[in-house]
Chain A
Amino acid sequence: MKIVAVCGMGIGTSVLLKMNAEKVLAKLGVDADVEAADMGVARGAAQMAEIVLTSAELAEELGDVPAEVIVIKNFFDLDEITEKLTAALE
Chain B
Amino acid sequence: MTFNLAEALSSIVTQADAADWRAAIRLAGDGLVAGGAATETYTDEMIAAVEQHGPYIVIAPGIALAHSRPSPAVLTGGLSWVSLATPVEFGNAANDPVSLVIGLAAVDHDAHLQVMRALAGVLSNSSAMERLHAATTPDDVRVVLSELATAAA
A residues near B (Cβ < 8 Å) are: 7-13, 15-17, 19-20, 38-39, 54-58, 61, 73-78
Contact = CB atoms under 8 A, between A and B. Distances in A.
B26 interface: no
A73 B117 contact: no
B31 to A, nearest CB: 16
B67 A57 contact: no
Nearest to B68: A9
Interface size class of B (residues with CB under 8 A): 20 to 34
A75 B67 contact: no
B75 interface: no
A6 to B, nearest CB: 10
Contact of B109 (A10, A19, A20): A10
A43 B24 CA distance: 31
B49 A8 contact: yes
Contacts of B53: 8, 39, 57-58, 61
Contact of A13 (B56, B109, B124): B56
4 closest A-B pairs by CB: A57-B54, A8-B53, A12-B67, A76-B124
Contacts of A56: 56, 93-94
Contacts of B106: 11-12
A12 B65 contact: yes
14 contacts: A10-B109, A11-B70, A12-B65, A12-B104, A13-B57, A20-B120, A54-B56, A57-B53, A58-B54, A73-B94, A74-B59, A74-B94, A76-B120, A78-B124
Nearest to B115: A15
Interface of B: 49, 52-57, 59-61, 63, 65, 67-70, 92-95, 104, 106, 109, 112-113, 116-117, 119-120, 123-124
A73 B93 CA distance: 9
A55 B59 contact: yes
Contacts of A11: 67, 69-70, 104, 106, 109, 112
A37 to B, nearest CB: 10
Given A8-B49, A20-B120, 15 more contacts: A8-B52, A8-B53, A9-B67, A9-B68, A15-B116, A55-B56, A56-B93, A57-B53, A57-B54, A58-B53, A61-B53, A61-B54, A74-B95, A76-B59, A76-B60
